[in-house]
Amino acid sequence: MQLDHDGDAEKLARLSDVAFGVASERTPETLGRALAAVKDELGMDVAFVSQFDRRRMVFRRLVGDGGSFGWREGGSIPLDNTFCRLLTEGRLPSVVPDAGADGRVRGLDVTGEARIGSYVGVPIRFSDGSLYGTLCALSHSPDPTLREHDARFVAVLARLVADQIEHERSRRREAEARVRAHERRVISRELHDRVAHAMAVVHQSLQLHEALKDHDPERAAEKLGLAKRMTLEAMGQTRDLSRALRGEEVGEDLRAALSEMLSDLVPPGVARGLSVAGDEGAIPDEAREQLFLVLREAVRNAASHSGAAKISVSVVVEGERVVGAVEDDGRGFEKSTGPEESGGLAHMAERASLLGGICSVDSSPGEGTRVEVSLPAGGAPAR
């Protein structure tokens, strides 16, 4: 018995050191490092961070042999009658050394389907007490050496995971606020430069029509015709800006949305190119929206500032990534001192970073410009 006590004390000291090491070097990979520490130190087959989403349990991050349990990162299973649901409801302890011998879980479908032998799990709660999900580790084989101090070790790391997710949520909200502010400024500029200009022409043309209709009916008719055309143009521009504000440009058919966007933004006389390759259906809705908005910003910049004869958009879905690009054959610029067309790059990069992606620009004077965005096409990061 004394030997077991000494062994437990030694293990607890080691676990404390590991937890301190993860906490002292907190990075964006805290979730992955915490899960790896739980899996390796407890000798389990898999460790994961789950999120409770309505009646599903989503595997936001997963380390280890999830496939042998039938699980994958980004996937989900019904939340009802899971170990994690029972845990958070207080109907299951944090440590189950032998699931096959524990009457509380032995009869659950998930126990047999996933071949669960042992389990350690703790809730993940935010600073306001709200429940996010769980941090768990499981093995196919029973493990009678599991103790309550193993759960305490997992609980320390669950607190770090909760802090990291809250931090990422805060960063995400701030980034989204900056992106929305940029979008409002762009739309405000469009209203001023395009719609307001069109309406000024309408107003001036109607005034000239009134002044000319009695002594120069032919010119008056020309002015009235111009007013009608500019009214239609302003109505179209207002419709486009309204769509942009509502964010309804992109639906399930990304190709159609991009084609319409090119028609709206690229001036007459400038050639347009569009290609979409791969399984568009593999792109999550959120990634599809952000991809579209980045490409739209790049096309808007190219159409407004590059002086290009051709602007092309391409999207390639391959494996777990989707890559979108906008290329033009315009005047280009020095990236270190780029003109206004590079000004939206920070906001495009921020949009990409919201989903764990990257955005880059390649340009030089006289050589045109290429803006490329790469996003994960699989599961979204924990949030």
pLDDT higher than 80, residue 160: yes
Q: What is the reported pLDDT for 252?
A: 66
Cα Rg of the chain, angstroms? 29
Q: Which of 31-40, 173-182, 251-260 has the lowest mean pLDDT?
A: 173-182
Where do the CATH 3.30.450.40 domains begin and end in the chain?
2-170
Q: Which of 15-29, 332-346, 351-365 has the lowest mean pLDDT?
A: 15-29
The β-bridge relationship of strands 131-139 and 118-125 is antiparallel
Please compute the mean of the pLDDT values over residues 152-179 and round it to a whole number.
Answer: 83
Q: Which of 63-67, 214-218, 290-294 has the lowest mean pLDDT?
A: 290-294
Q: What is the DSSP letter of 306?
A: S
Where do the CATH 3.30.565.10 domains begin and end in the chain?
249-383
pLDDT higher than 80, residue 243: no
Please compute the mean of the pLDDT values over residues 364-370 and round it to a whole number.
Answer: 89
Q: What is the reported pLDDT for 124?
A: 95
Paired strand residues for 197: none
pLDDT higher than 60, residue 187: yes
Sign of CA dihedral 202, 204, 205, 206: positive
Query: What is the secondary structure of 181-213 as a DSSP string?
Result: HHHHHHHHHHIIIIIHHHHHHHHHHHHHHHHHT
CATH number of the structural domain 2-170: 3.30.450.40
Q: What is the reported pLDDT for 379?
A: 46
* E strand segments, the chain: 46-53, 56-64, 76-78, 95-96, 118-125, 131-139, 271-277, 310-318, 321-328, 358-363, 369-376
Domain 249-383 has CATH 3.40.50.720: no
Question: 224: which residues sit within 8 A by CB, 6+ positions away?
Answer: 205, 206, 209
DSSP SS3 for 316? strand
Convert the pLDDT of each residue in 69-127 to its tens digit.
999 988 899 999 899 999 999 999 999 999 999 999 999 999 999 999 999 999 999 99
CA 327, CA 294: separation in Å to the nearest integer? Answer: 13
Tokens of 30: 């805290």
Q: What is the reported pLDDT for 3?
A: 37
Q: What is the reported pLDDT for 316?
A: 93
Tokens of 189: 């500029």
pLDDT-derived band of residue 7, with 50, 70 and 90 as boundaries?
A: very low
